[in-house]
Structure 1
Amino acid sequence: MKTGKVFLVGAGPGDVGLITVKGLDAVKQAEVILYDRLANPKLLEYADSDCELIYCGKLPDRHTLRQENINGLLVQKALEGKLVVRLKGGDPGIFGRVGEEAAALAEFQIPFEIVPGISSGIAAPLYTGIPVTHREHAESFAVVTAHDKSQNGKPLLDWEGLARGVDTIAFYMGVGNLPFICENLIRYGKPSSTPVILIHWGTFGRQRTLQGTLADISEKVLQSKFSNPSIILVGDVISLREKISWFEKKPLYGRQILLARTSASPSVLAKELQAQGADVIEFPKWKVTKIPLDLTRVAAYEKILFTSPESAAEFFEALLEAEIDIRRIHAEFYGLSSKTIKALRERGVIGKLAQQIEDSENMLVIGENHLLQKNYQKAEMMVTSEKELDRQFLPIFQRMLKEAKINTMIFPSSASVEPFLTTLEDCQMNAAELLHQVQVIAMGELTQAAAIKAGLAETEKPVTPTKEALVDYMVKHPLQGVQE
């Protein structure tokens, strides 16, 4: 059997847009992905639906997989001939133990590549408005582990060298040792007035910061119950933050949004919400299996109705594969939504909304929703694909929802309500508990009615069901009585 290959990939600090092009290409090709807790799980959605996902997450008090087991799995899967990705938060070479994993692969002569990532020690400060170096404030920068194998987990460091020789210091995963860190930096020469900032979940919409000095930051952390994962940054360059803070000024910063999803394709709405500073968890995850289409009679219909943008794309792909010229089809084209009409226009076809259909005589409905036959009983149905729940993602969503503090729920369509609630039950989660004190927003009157019928009585809606109106509504109706 041919030996596979392993990519040891840095996923970046959290914002999915910060993974490298090479790293994302590896994820898309992977047959097996072993991923860490601090690698954003949304990156896994770029993988093939048949890719095996293995969680290697580590917490300070427990290990899902110990390092030797991770090394063994990388070797095992590669020897099975698989293309394997080890997806690690931040940069794999900075406290990522990539050297140990690469050595294990080299021992078995397994080919591998190491793909660097953006380190959280640099990215998290930048997302708070702090460059780690600056001509006037900081000419040197150090990254330091604040938790090592020494006795009691207290880092054995050259404290004098750090205190006197380095302008900006980033400590990784060191909240528990913060008093020890501050005490030693002061003892060896750092002024007690030196600024310190803690950045929790840096580059995510849930990012939080706590600022102080070496003299008082430990007490502030105790009072605010600040925790890992956090970067601790020490240095005078922190003073620049007030002038060049940018991420926290985004209109939806602090919004942790749960977006009900009905499509397997990337969400334009989710992308826009993220661009405005929000964290977005799209739930549930679907996978699609295409069905071979019989297109022998397609030119005979007078009307063709597409139920979704996906069904339009799959139909046009099938036409090309069957070498059927679109000019042979003389039917009027219709779409169930404006998004579907847009998908048709992108293929050079002007469609009309389904509301303009007067009768379903000699009509073909193309899509995945058999229930449409109730509305168009005289029409024939052509199913382009089968959509099913991707159950491999259920435990991933459980972890995401437990770590996030959801404060906004969005239903983009009436069809998104029932699948969302049903899948929550599959995750052993209660909708009433999860959405308690959460702002629930529906895109349109029909969607609002469906949410209220499902028991979500306080559902709100923007003026129009567009992403622009939605963002405007959330800006004008900030969270009240909601956990941020």
Structure 2
Amino acid sequence: MKQGIVYLVGAGPGDYGLISVKAIECIKEADTIVYDRLADDRLLAHARSNVELIYVGKASSDHTMRQEDINQLLVDKAQENKIVVRLKGGDPFVFGRGGEEALKLLENHIPFEVVPGITSAISVPAYAGIPVTHRGIATSFAVITGHEDPTKAESTIKWDKLATAVDTLVFLMGVENLPYITGNLIEHGRPADTPAAVIRWGTKPEQEVLVTTVGQAAQDVAARGLKPPAIFIVGHVVTLRDKLAWFDNKVLYGKKVLVTRAREQASALTDGLAKLGANCIEAPAIKIVPPESYEPLDEAIARLNEYNWLIFTSVNGVEHFFSRLAAAGLDTRAIAARVAAIGSPTANLLKNYGITADIIPAEFRAEGVIEALEPYIKQGMKVLIPRALVARDILPVKLTELGAVVNVVPAYRTLVGDTDGLKLAAKLEQGEIELITFTSSSTVTNLLNLLGQEGARFIAKAKVACIGPITAETCLANGIKPDVIAEEYTIKGLIAAITAMYREE
């Protein structure tokens, strides 16, 4: 019988890429994941589909579950012979209460392992361009809790020694206690004009950095309205930010971008924009589902040897076609036809199945496919197009005019996504979204459906970026003026077009 075990895993400071290989391996293996507020949800995408997810997030004054109950939960789940991952922001043993959880597991004879995480004490200043040590400026640093109760009779922090003995001080979770912290530092000898910084949501696209001084910090934070989670860093290393700031110098830093692609496909666009500093909000306007019946596609696959050309107009068509090919007990060897792909992403996916497309048009849309195929289409040739149930008719119509016998079969359907239209409309109305990305005509029409009768007015509150002219035409037909249209009709091309627009501002 499998024995239960608990992995105390550090998820890192916020940027979901700052997690160890071992941590990802634990997440993949887990039967149960107990996670907190500071662990990025995208990390959970690595988990098995049947994993048990338990949220125990804690904000400064709002605890979903008491620590004692979390400790017991880990014991209970391990005693069910489950592999349990306790996923924490930062590092489990740096003010993460991982030690308490480990002792409880030890007390109950539960095996455990600790997987360290990158602590925010070092990484968050680094993302703000502030090294915690630097030759000639700081040769020591200390990490201190900023969460100590200022009303207790005696502080456990040795302020008289800490205030002046260490070059760089990093207080975690200290924003709400800033008057207490700065008061003690000044009282025990730290000059009020010592450079300091408050960094909120460090390492994430939402990162905010406030440069101040020890004496002015509490007042500046109150004026700015900064709330947790944030760290407070004190020391002359803060002055290096003027030269070393890199994360918030990115071209899309702080731009709030709405990604309307289907949830399964959003990551490529989100990741590409996030690497340039954008704060992406995923609100799928479409979802990809199987057709009501695979019978037409299955029948076409059964007669696959009859076709002269097989045309794929999207990566979704490729995925669903090869899924049904496998279901029929067949593989790539069953394809005798020549193959055309509407663009490089579709062609690249075909290569994963061992197919090199014979035709990839210069222009990644139906008109480009027609132009590229025209010299090769002869009277009576049979063409199979597995695609979305609802799509533009121009490709099969033009091929038919060229003399081909065209069979269009539904490989998948696109439906309106499950995004909360009312909440999204409110964000747009309040100016919380700066740019909306559209990657197909269906993302445009479906977003309008989600937003309701005033959809076009809400969308007009933000800039609009379209993946190509067909999507842009759909926008214009619905009273929406695109601000940018990608010249290359791919996700890469869309990102490049958005980047160019902001660089020109």
Matched, 1:381 2:409: yes
One-letter amino acid of the structure 1 residue matched with residue 462 of structure 2: V
CA contact (8 A) 1:261 1:420 kept: no
CA distance in 1, matches of 2:466, 2:154: 50
CA contact (8 A) 1:445 1:461 kept: no
How far off is 1:158 after superposition?
A: 0.6
Matched, 1:222 2:229: no
Deviations 1:62-96, CA, capped at 9 Å, x for gaps: 11222233233323333334333222111111111
One-letter amino acid of the structure 1 residue matched with residue 407 of structure 2: A
CA contact (8 A) 2:332 2:355 kept: no
Deviations 1:209-260, CA, capped at 9 Å, x for gaps: 1111112222211221122111100011112111222112211111122211
After TM superposition, the structure 1 stretch with the greater mean CA deviation from structure 2, 464-473 or 133-142, is 464-473
SS class of match (2:199): strand
Equivalent residue, structure 2, for 1:481? none
How far off is 1:203 after superposition?
A: 0.8
Equivalent residue, structure 2, for 1:68? 68
Matched, 1:365 2:388: no
CA contact (8 A) 2:14 2:38 kept: yes
CA contact (8 A) 1:32 1:84 kept: yes
Deviations 1:132-154, CA, capped at 9 Å, x for gaps: 01121111111111113563699
One-letter amino acid of the structure 2 residue matched with residue 381 of structure 1: V
CA distance in 2, matches of 1:287, 1:35: 29
Q: 1:448 to 1:236 in 2, by over 3 A?
A: same
Equivalent residue, structure 2, for 1:25? 25
SS class of match (2:183): helix
Matched, 1:51 2:51: yes
SS class of match (2:103): helix
Q: TM-score, normalised by structure 2?
A: 0.79
SS class of match (2:84): strand
CA distance in 2, matches of 1:173, 1:16: 20
CA distance in 2, matches of 1:113, 1:433: 54
After TM superposition, the structure 1 stretch with the greater mean CA deviation from structure 2, 34-43 or 439-448, is 439-448
Deviations 1:395-423, CA, capped at 9 Å, x for gaps: xx99xx89x95432212222333555667
One-letter amino acid of the structure 1 residue matched with residue 390 of structure 2: L
Return 5+ residue gaps in structure 2 as ranges: 398-405
Q: How does 1:4-43 map to 2 (within 5 A)?
A: 4-43=4-43
Equivalent residue, structure 2, for 1:408? 435
Q: How does 1:78-477 map to 2 (within 5 A)?
A: 78-148=78-148, 151=151, 156-262=156-262, 264-265=264-265, 267-284=267-284, 295-313=301-319, 315-316=321-322, 324=330, 326-345=332-351, 347-352=354-359, 354=366, 355-356=369-370, 362-366=382-386, 369-372=388-391, 379=407, 381=409, 383=411, 405-420=432-447, 437-451=461-475, 457-464=480-487, 465=489, 466-476=493-503
CA distance in 2, matches of 1:102, 1:389: 46
CA contact (8 A) 1:264 1:288 kept: no
Q: Identical aligned pairs, as a percentage? A: 39
One-letter amino acid of the structure 2 residue matched with residue 442 of structure 1: C
Q: 1:81 to 1:261 in 2, by over 3 A?
A: farther
CA distance in 1, matches of 2:202, 2:259: 22
One-letter amino acid of the structure 2 residue matched with residue 331 of structure 1: A
Q: 1:225 to 1:25 in 2, by over 3 A?
A: same
One-letter amino acid of the structure 2 residue matched with residue 470 of structure 1: A
Q: 1:155 to 1:170 in 2, by over 3 A?
A: farther
How far off is 1:31 after superposition?
A: 3.2
Equivalent residue, structure 2, for 1:482? none
Q: 1:68 to 1:372 in 2, by over 3 A?
A: same
Greater Rg by CA: 2
Q: 1:69 to 1:335 in 2, by over 3 A?
A: farther
CA distance in 2, matches of 1:198, 1:70: 30
Equivalent residue, structure 1, for 2:400? none
CA distance in 1, matches of 2:33, 2:108: 19
After TM superposition, the structure 1 stretch with the greater mean CA deviation from structure 2, 46-55 or 126-135, is 46-55
One-letter amino acid of the structure 1 residue matched with residue 336 of structure 2: H
Q: 1:289 to 1:371 in 2, by over 3 A?
A: closer
After TM superposition, the structure 1 stretch with the greater mean CA deviation from structure 2, 2-11 or 305-314, is 305-314
Q: 1:474 to 1:207 in 2, by over 3 A?
A: farther
Q: TM-score, normalised by structure 1?
A: 0.82
Deviations 1:290-336, CA, capped at 9 Å, x for gaps: 99995543323223233432442565577678775645522132335
CA distance in 1, matches of 2:18, 2:189: 36
CA distance in 1, matches of 2:476, 2:276: 28
Q: 1:418 to 1:120 in 2, by over 3 A?
A: farther
SS class of match (1:17): coil
One-letter amino acid of the structure 2 residue matched with residue 262 of structure 1: A
CA contact (8 A) 1:49 1:287 kept: no
CA distance in 1, matches of 2:103, 2:86: 14
One-letter amino acid of the structure 1 residue matched with residue 389 of structure 2: H
Q: 1:11 to 1:281 in 2, by over 3 A?
A: farther
How far off is 1:261 after superposition?
A: 1.8
CA distance in 2, matches of 1:443, 1:154: 61
CA distance in 2, matches of 1:12, 1:95: 13
CA distance in 2, matches of 1:157, 1:45: 40
CA distance in 1, matches of 2:3, 2:446: 41
Deviations 1:89-126, CA, capped at 9 Å, x for gaps: 11111111112222333333333322111111111110
One-letter amino acid of the structure 2 residue matched with residue 461 of structure 1: V
One-letter amino acid of the structure 2 residue matched with residue 236 of structure 1: H
CA distance in 2, matches of 1:433, 1:157: 55
SS class of match (2:37): coil
One-letter amino acid of the structure 1 residue matched with residue 385 of structure 2: V
Deviations 1:334-386, CA, capped at 9 Å, x for gaps: 3355421332355441244554267997443335x323597759525364x78
CA contact (8 A) 1:146 1:155 kept: no
Q: 1:386 to 1:144 in 2, by over 3 A?
A: farther
CA contact (8 A) 1:364 1:382 kept: no
- For these two proteins, the number of residue pairs brought into alignment is 465
After TM superposition, the structure 1 stretch with the greater mean CA deviation from structure 2, 184-193 or 318-327, is 318-327
Q: 1:287 to 1:320 in 2, by over 3 A?
A: closer
Q: 1:463 to 1:365 in 2, by over 3 A?
A: closer
